[in-house]
Amino acid sequence: MKKILQDFTYTELEEIVLSLGEKKFRAKQLYEGLMQGKAISEITSLSKAFKERLCEEYEDAPVRIKETYYSADGTEKYLFEYADGNLVEGVLMKYKYGYTQCVSTQIGCRMGCKFCASTLGGLVRNLTAGEILSQILLVNALHKNDAAGQGKEARAVTNVVLMGSGEPLDNYDEVLRFLRNVTAEGGLCISARNISLSTCGIVPKMYKLADEGIPLNLTVSLHATDDETRMRTMPVAKAYKIAEILKACAYYFKKTGRRYYFEYTLIEGENCDEEHAKALIELLKGKPCHVNLIRLNEVKERNLKALGDKEAYRFLGLLEKGGLSATLRRQIGVDIGGACGQLRSSYLEKLES
């Protein structure tokens, strides 16, 4: 596979441009074009000869949107296709304050969570920083005229969540590079405070992230209140105990001053009885954190059941009564195919059948 220019910082692009015998200011034109989601060949300010020279070494368009699905509530889901034919999915959620894009960090995943569709076929490969960034560049380009992104340098996407396929901390270096590039001034310049990174709890990498000095929102997928229950649905729980995760979260708070978040997917008969609510309160009370309750998106390959709506609100009520800050995540885009990885796996299935 060819390298891709979206992996590089502005300064690195300057070096590339100079090494190819072009004037330094061409880097600005190149960078601007790339940040507008253009393929190299589409950047009109550059000469044809220079673009051809670049395309000898670098992928002209590293990713394209293969399919788009529109939900009645405005949510959009995309199937992205990379230059090597691999597919990942992404979601765009439209809120009053702006657009939130959910990006994937890996093709497939090797964490093996029992409720998740992304991990069914294991890890195919990591995405590079630029391949992750390109998901946003394309969606921004698609929505450049929307109200949320008015202005010349339309940036429709204001918030990013790393909650698509993959485990971001299992692809640490590329994800970090992505974070630096997506927040870079002069680039998309998305505030780190508007970025949430979700991890299944790879403790050493959580410490490392805390030390990077990027004030993003750290979210941990907890989904259980004790290690034994957690191990049943999340194999990673065998490596890292809940107590260690909580210590790493405390360290994150100490280093960044940012409160942290827990995701807790409600799985019937597994983690959402009254005793679990009590245990969760016991575990998190007084900590600078917020709990996001998620309704299980039932994956047909997995035999796990979602908790009913009434019971979900009851569970939320118990947490609130116990003094936790918690919300039940609104379900959006349900009519366009579910959770993490479901779109890709159903698409691959269609191809195989």
Please report whether residue 299 would count as binding ligand SAH according to CB under 6 A.
Answer: yes
Please report whether residue 294 would count as binding ligand SAH according to CB under 6 A.
Answer: yes
For residue 220, give the nearest of 192, 240, 238 by alpha carbon. Answer: 240
Q: Provide the minimum distance between the beta carbon of 140 and ligand SAH in the complex, in angstroms, as a whole number.
A: 22
| Pair 134, 82: CB distance under 8 Å | no
- Rank residues 115 and 252 by Cβ distance to ligand SAH and give the closer one: 115
Please report whether residue 297 would count as binding ligand SAH according to CB under 6 A.
Answer: yes
Burial class (CB in 10 A: 0-12, 13-18, 19+), 130: buried
- Rank residues 58 and 261 by Cβ distance to ligand SAH and give the closer one: 261
Residue selected from 34, 92, 113, 319 as contacting ligand SAH according to rule CB under 6 A: 113
Q: What pairs with residue 198 in β-bridges?
A: 219
- Rank residues 156 and 161 by Cβ distance to ligand SAH and give the closer one: 161
Which range touches ligand SAH (CB under 6 A), out of 13-21, 282-290, 296-304, 328-336?
Answer: 296-304
Please report whether residue 163 would count as binding ligand SAH according to CB under 6 A.
Answer: yes
Please report whether residue 284 would count as binding ligand SAH according to CB under 6 A.
Answer: no
Q: Annotate 142-179 with DSSP letters as a single string.
A: HTTTSGGG-STT---EEEEEE-SSS-GGGGHHHHHHHH
Q: Provide the minimum distance between the beta carbon of 304 and ligand SAH in the complex, in angstroms, as a whole number.
A: 8
- Rank residues 200 and 209 by Cβ distance to ligand SAH and give the closer one: 200
Return the residues of window 115-154 that contact ligand SAH according to CB under 6 A.
Answer: 115-116
**CA separation for the pair 220, 282 (Å, rounded):** 17
113 is catalytic: no
89 is catalytic: yes
Q: Which two tokens stand for residue 230?
A: 């957690």
Catalytic residue among 89, 131, 167, 270: 89
**CA separation for the pair 102, 291 (Å, rounded):** 19
SS3 of 63, please?
Answer: strand
Backbone φ/ψ region at 256: left (φ over 0), alpha (ψ -120 to 50), beta? alpha
Return the residues of window 247-276 that contact ligand SAH according to CB under 6 A.
Answer: 263, 265
Catalytic residue set? 89, 340
